[in-house]
Structure 1
Amino acid sequence: MPHTPLVKQLPALRRYARALLGAQAAGDRAVREALQAMIEGRVTTEADASLRVALYRAFHQVLGPRPTAAIPALKADQRLQALDVSSRTAFLLTAMEGFSYAETSRILGISMEQVEKQVVAAQGDIDRQTLTRVLIIEDEWLIALDLKTLVEELGHEVVGVAPTRTRAVDLARQGGFGLVLADIQLADGSSGIDAVSDILAANNIPVIFITAFPDRLLTGERPEPTYLIAKPFLSETVKATIAQALFFHEASRALGNEGAQEAKQFSIPDNSGETHGRQF
C-alpha cells in the first residue's frame, strides 16, 4: 500500500485514536502498531473497501479489546468504565469520523443494527455526564447562533460569544466555564489560536477548534487539549466532539504533556526496519 495516500489519512486517524484512548501518546502508539501490521500483512483487508475504511479496520484489528488502557484510575476513569466500550467506539466512528453505519459495521465487524444501537446508547450516556458552561469564539454570527443552539440542545449553558481575540480573553477572565469552541480567523484579523493560547495560560479546560482551515491545526506541534471540526460541519459531529472533549478532559490533564511531546515526531515504519519521520 503506497505511503503517500496513507499518510494523508493519518491526521484524522490520530485524532480518532486520541479520542478513543484519551491521550495522544497512547493513540499514536496504537496507530504505529496498526501501520506496522498493515505493512507486514498481519491484518485482513477487503478488496472493495476504501483506503480509509481499510486503515481504521486495521487499527481496530490490532487494537483489540484494550481501548481504555491509557486512562488513569481517576474520576474520569470511573466515568469511562461506566460507558460501554463498544458503544463509545461506534459513536466516535459515526459521529466524529463521519463513517456511515455500513462503513462502521465493516470496520468493527458487526451488523449495522448493532452499530445503531451502540451509537444511541453512547450518546445518551455521554450527554448525561458532561454538562458544563461554554465559551464560543466565532465572528460569523449565523454560525455562532447555530453553535449556541447545538450547545444548549445538549443541556450546556453558553457564557458568551466572542468575535475577536480581545473579547474572548475578556469573557474568559470572568471564569465559570468548562469548554471553549473556537474559530481560527476572527473578525478583526486576530487569531482564534492566539485567543485560545491566552485562555489556556490561566485555564485548564478542553478546546474544540471549528474552522475552515483544519490543516493549520493538524500538525502535532500544539499540545492537548485540542479537538478539531472542519467547516462546514454537521450538528452530530459538533455534539459528538463536545461530549468526547469533556469526557476525556480529566484523563488528558492527568497524563500532562506526555502526548504532546511524543506527537512532535511521528514515524512510519517500513519493511527495512528504517523509519520515515513526518511532521503533522
Structure 2
Amino acid sequence: MVRVLLGFALLSFSVQASADTVPKVGAGTIVDLGILQSRYADPRRVVVWLPSSYSSRGPKPAVLYMHDGQNLFDKATAGYGMEWEVDEHLDRLIREKKVRPTIVVGIWNTSKRLLEYVPSRAFASLPTAYRDQVRALYGGDPLSDGYLKFIVDELKPMIDHRFRVKTDRENTVIMGSSMGALISLYAIDEYSKVFGAAGMMSTHWPLSFKPEGKTLSDEEFEAVSSTFERYLAPALPDPKTHRLYFDHGSETLDAIYARYQARVDKVVAARGYLSGVNWMTRNFPGQKHNEISWASRLDVPLEFLLPPR
C-alpha cells in the first residue's frame, strides 16, 4: 500500500502548500498573474517568464505554455524540491540563437490535476473495466476539456493582450511531462488551429499504474494502447503545419513506457510525420521520472519545438 500511495503522489505533483509563493528565477523575469478565476476550471496561479532579451519594443517572441507551473523555475515552489530549470535553459538557448525568443506561461496545477490532465475523449473509449479503474484512481471523470477551454479561451487572450508576443499557431507551443504530456498532446489534437507544436516528456500512457516492480498485464497494455491508437489516428494534426516531440527514460515509472510509445509512434508515422523533420521520439537510458531528469534533457525538446526563424 505504501508503494501504491508513493506512485500516486508521483503522478500527482500537486503542491497546494506553495500556492501563494511566487517562484524566483536565476535568469530572466517572472511576472505573477496571481490566482486566475475561470468559467471552465478551478482557480489557479499562473506566472509568465520573460527572457532577458524581452522588450516591449523589441521583436515579438513565441509563447510556450507549460503545465505543472510550480515545478518549472524554483525549487522552493516545486513539489519534491526539484525544478525543471526552464529559466536558465531557455534564456541560454535564446542567447545562443539555438531557440527563437520565447516567453513561458507556467500554469499551476491543482488538487484535480489527474482529472484535468487525462484526455477526455480517449478516456471515454477505454474498455469499461479499465475506465472504471482509472476513474476510481483519479477520483472521478475527466475535467480536461474544461481545463483546455481555460487555456485557449481565457488565458491565451489575456497573454496575447498583455504581452508583446506572436499570437499565430506556429509560435504557440504547449509542453508537459507525465500526465502533463498527455494533456499537451490532447491540446494540440483538439486545438490544432491554436497550437503549432507540442512536447510530451515521459508520457504516462498507461493512465493507471502498478506497485513498484510490477507492470500492467498484456491485456491491460492492449486495452490502453488500442484506445490511444483509435483516438490519435483521426485526431493528430496535419504534419505539414505541426511538430510533435516525445521522449522517455528507462528508470522508475519511465521503465514501462517504451512499448506504449512504440505503438503511438506507428500511428504518428502513418499520419505522415517524418522523424527529425516535424516529429521526434527519443529514449534516454538511465533517465528517471522526475524533474532532475527532465531538466537534464530539456534542451532537446526546446531546440526541436522552437527552432530559430
Q: TM-score w.r.t. structure 1 length?
A: 0.30
Q: Which has the higher helix share?
A: 1
Q: Which has the higher strand share?
A: 2
